[in-house]
Amino acid sequence: MLKIPAFGNTQTVSGNLAVIGIFFEEGAENALLQSFISHLPQAEDDTYEAADTYDVSSFLPAGTHYYTYGGSLTTPPCSEIVTWIVMEEPIEASLDQIHAFENLMHENNRPIQDTHGRTIKEF
């Protein structure tokens, strides 16, 4: 787990989480992303608290279009406590940067689930 002070605590009093999903598109190296990658834990079980602070908005794509829905954690116990915010437009990152995330995140997703009456909102 990577804890970043400027992101604050996304967990609310009720135990719910807000997660922003941003897709990567292969392209030029992303300097801001590289400064973040240098603090990634080396193994999935490692925890590292970054000394640097990051402005969350700096990571967001230029486009402001996004989707949001109530969902679950991607790993067991897959608790239904997440408000997902998924940006439509990807950010550019080099192949090495994309691989840095792939190498850290193993089996952190699960098969697509039925919507179970959830509403996906588009903004």
Instruction: Write the pLDDT tens digit of every residue in 28-61.
Output: 999 988 988 887 776 666 666 666 677 778 888 9
Total of domains in the chain: 1
What is the distance between the alpha carbons of residues 99 and 32, in angstroms, rounded to a whole number? 16
Q: Which domain holds residue 13?
A: 2-122
Handedness of CA 77, 78, 79, 83 (dihedral sign): positive
Residue 96: which CATH number?
3.10.200.10
Instruction: Write the pLDDT tens digit of every residue in 85-113.
Output: 999 999 999 999 999 888 777 666 778 88
The three-state DSSP-derived secondary structure of 26-50 is: ECCCCHHHHHHHCCCCCCCCCCEEC
Tokens of 30: 């992303």
Tell me the pTM. 0.76
CB 63 within 8 Å of CB 89: yes
What is the distance between the alpha carbons of residues 107 and 15, in angstroms, rounded to a whole number? 23
